């Protein structure tokens, strides 16, 4: 959680621990708990503690038992939309890597909240044909809303839903074997939302006989992911779509602001404006996007760490020592290279007004 000491130390002592290793003993005398998505926040962690404020520097909240927090009168805040631009950058990098002509095709977006909505607005400004499915929105918010069956017929499907198991529209295994079988024969499926929205076992069973392309940033049972599925997908990354420096800092800042509001005091100003832009050269949009972030490099990094025999995870019989997979997956996230969003870049030598307009839509400097 970048800048957590700088932002929170004016209010008390900041003590940090690895997110998956946090225990009730660590938090029993804390007043405030700040987490990201790898920490399960529930009764077993907080019972008997004096915590009165929980902040999660994340969009998703399925790792937090909000019902328990409400029962204990513990204030909760998260950071919706903090990394939306980062996820959009990730999706565009996947699109230009796997399907160079994607802008001439139809893009379906399942879930049009902070992230999916941002992606939709950018794609429509770029002139891309979109279909959207979100049962909680209406056409006055998203004009291109269609039925779930219709969105499945898109050439590209981008999943940006939260994970839910209850209510009228649960998303757990929304893409089960039956739904996956209905996808267009040459579809590109991108899941940068929550892993369990897609039935990973069903996807693995179907992939060998399909012409699909699949990019997964999120997986069921993280961090103990299924390596056979990683072998089958076209792009695999370790839940880092929203891991730009900007996105993570925005998350920290948003929960700091919520904390200050909860305390009834003013929110301090934080200057997050970009430094001197990084200069890149591009003749067309794909070059510009991939110059800022090439997802194929992250895919290769993950495969080398989890699939290569030299890692020691795969023995001479081809069997995988699954006990090491979670630690390697977490290490990939912890050592993720710095990534800057589009606003930190300036493109020189722009050859056309069209490219200039496209770069402006994405937020280039």
Q: Which residues are annotated as catalytic?
A: 194, 222, 239
Cα separation, 133 vs 344, whole angstroms: 32
CB 183 within 8 A of CB 152: yes
The two tokens of residue 132 are: 């959207």
Which are the contacts of 307, defined by CB distance < 8 A and separation ≥ 6? Answer: 227, 230, 231, 313, 314
CB 89 within 8 A of CB 342: yes
Cα separation, 349 vs 326, whole angstroms: 45
Q: Which residues, listed in sequence order, are joined to residue 188 by a DSSP beta bridge?
A: 156, 213
CB atoms inside a 10 Å sphere around CB 291 = 14
């Amino acid at each position: 959680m970048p800048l957590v000491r700088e932002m929170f130390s004016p209010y008390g002592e900041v003590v940090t621990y690895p997110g998956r290793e946090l225990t009730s003993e660590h938090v029993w005398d804390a007043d405030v708990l700040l987490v990201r998505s790898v920490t399960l926040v529930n009764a077993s962690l907080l019972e008997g503690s004096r915590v009165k404020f929980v902040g999660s520097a994340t969009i998703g909240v399925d790792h937090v038992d909000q019902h328990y927090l409400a029962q204990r009168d513990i204030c909760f805040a998260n950071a919706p939309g903090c990394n939306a631009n980062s996820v959009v950058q990730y999706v565009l990098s996947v699109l230009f890597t796997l399907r160079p002509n994607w802008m001439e095709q139809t893009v379906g977006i399942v879930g049009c909240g902070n992230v999916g909505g941002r992606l939709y607005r950018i794609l429509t400004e770029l002139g891309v044909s979109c279909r959207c499915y979100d049962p909680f929105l209406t056409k006055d918010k998203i004009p291109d809303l269609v039925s779930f069956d219709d969105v499945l017929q898109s050439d590209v499907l981008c999943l940006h839903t939260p994970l839910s198991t209850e209510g009228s529209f649960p998303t757990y295994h929304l893409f089960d074997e039956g739904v996956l079988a209905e996808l267009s024969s040459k579809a590109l499926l991108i899941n940068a939302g929550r892993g369990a929205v897609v039935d990973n076992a069903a996807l693995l069973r179907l992939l060998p006989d399909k012409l699909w392309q699949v990019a997964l940033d999120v997986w069921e049972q993280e961090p103990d992911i299924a390596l056979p599925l990683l072998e089958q997908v076209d792009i695999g990354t370790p839940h880092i779509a929203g891991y730009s420096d900007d996105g993570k800092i925005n998350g920290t800042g948003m929960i700091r602001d919520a904390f200050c509001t909860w305390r009834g005091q003013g929110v301090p100003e934080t200057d997050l404006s970009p430094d001197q832009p990084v200069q890149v050269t591009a003749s067309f949009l794909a070059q510009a996007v991939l110059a800022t972030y090439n997802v194929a490099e992250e895919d290769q990094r993950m495969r080398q760490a989890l699939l290569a025999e030299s890692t020691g995870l795969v023995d001479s019989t081809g069997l995988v020592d699954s006990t090491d997979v979670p630690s390697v997956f977490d290490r990939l996230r912890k050592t993720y290279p710095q990534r800057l969003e589009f606003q930190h870049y300036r493109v020189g030598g722009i050859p056309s007004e069209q490219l200039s307009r496209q770069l402006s839509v994405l937020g280039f400097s």
